[in-house]
Structure 1
Amino acid sequence: MSYLQTQLIPHVRKVQSLYKRALRNMEGFSHHRHVYRFNAVILRARFDENRDILDMRKAKELLYLGEEELHRMMHYQPLKFPTSPGGTAYDRETVPPDWVLDYWHPLEKAQYPEYFARREQRKKEYVEVWEKQYGKPDPKDHH
């Protein structure tokens, strides 16, 4: 769920995101590359006009108006990369979590001795770092 927002996003990043989404949206409407590039240059000029605005109220208002315009002008069938959220191949291949390797049979683990030796060492290091940062768990808390 890496697409969920977990921290504050700076204004500059929001503007960059708006610009990129606007370009992608424009790509869906343009069937010829030269038409797309012409419109992309015009779009960039629109963004550059407001590049040096220092009044954050005005900048936020322009960002809001840009988001609104993008929403109004959104392509009826937006282009999506296949492995992006909403794409045809999104989440098609499930990557198993790391703990699955703990349940391998010892004969399976014996086929990769260096890997599993290094993995056990790193697991110990991870536990040490965890205990150093958060302290050892209280045995009374276990049910």
Structure 2
Amino acid sequence: MSGVSTAAYVARRAAQKERVRILYRRALKDTLNWAVHRHLFYQDADALRQRFEANKDVEDLDRIDRLIANAEATYNKWRHPDPYVVPWAPGGSKFHRNPIPPAGIEIVYDYGREDND
């Protein structure tokens, strides 16, 4: 291998590893949306990990690209239609529930301690 092809190979493998890592993390987080209880999540997470581990020794770059494309298509097909959103995060039920008051309004926190002069 020449220096250019070696660099191209290393760059392609690095890109593939990053795509696999991102796909695994997204799929694992999405598994939490489908599992009602933790003991169910652990079983599903173990099955997901085994699916990824089954192909970890593949060396052919084109086959790896096909496996990643198939896995991404499967993930997109089975993504949860209503994923869990943390309540105070954007899209959550408590996001911006109590907005900041407009300018000019002063809030006095005296908690019932009026001036009795």
Superposition TM-score tier, normalisation by shorter sequence: 0.5 to 0.7
Which residue among 66, 78, 88 is the counterpart of 1:73?
78
Structure 2, unpaired ranges of 5+ = 1-11, 96-117
Which residue among 30, 34, 59 is the counterpart of 2:64?
59
Which residue among 35, 40, 44 is the counterpart of 1:39?
44
1:19 lines up with 2:12 in the alignment: no
Compare relative contact order (CA 8 Å, sep 6+) and give the higher one, 1 or 2.
2
Call closer, same or farther: CA 1:87–1:56 in 2, change over 3 Å.
farther
Q: Find the aligned partners of 2:75 and 2:27 in 1 and give their Cα distance.
A: 6
Aligned-CA RMSD value: 2.5
Whether contact under 8 Å (1:25, 1:78) holds in the other structure is yes
Q: TM-score scaled to structure 2, two decimals?
A: 0.62
Q: Residue 28 of structure 1 corresponds to which residue in structure 2?
A: 33
Structure 1, unpaired ranges of 5+ = 1-7, 90-143
Task: Give the total of aligned pairs.
Answer: 82
Report the CA distance between 1:87 and its aligned residue: 4.1
Whether contact under 8 Å (1:25, 1:75) holds in the other structure is yes
Q: Find the aligned partners of 2:80 and 2:74 in 1 and give their Cα distance.
A: 12
Report the CA distance between 1:77 and its aligned residue: 1.0
Whether contact under 8 Å (1:23, 1:40) holds in the other structure is yes
Secondary structure (helix, strand or coil) at the match of 1:12 reads helix
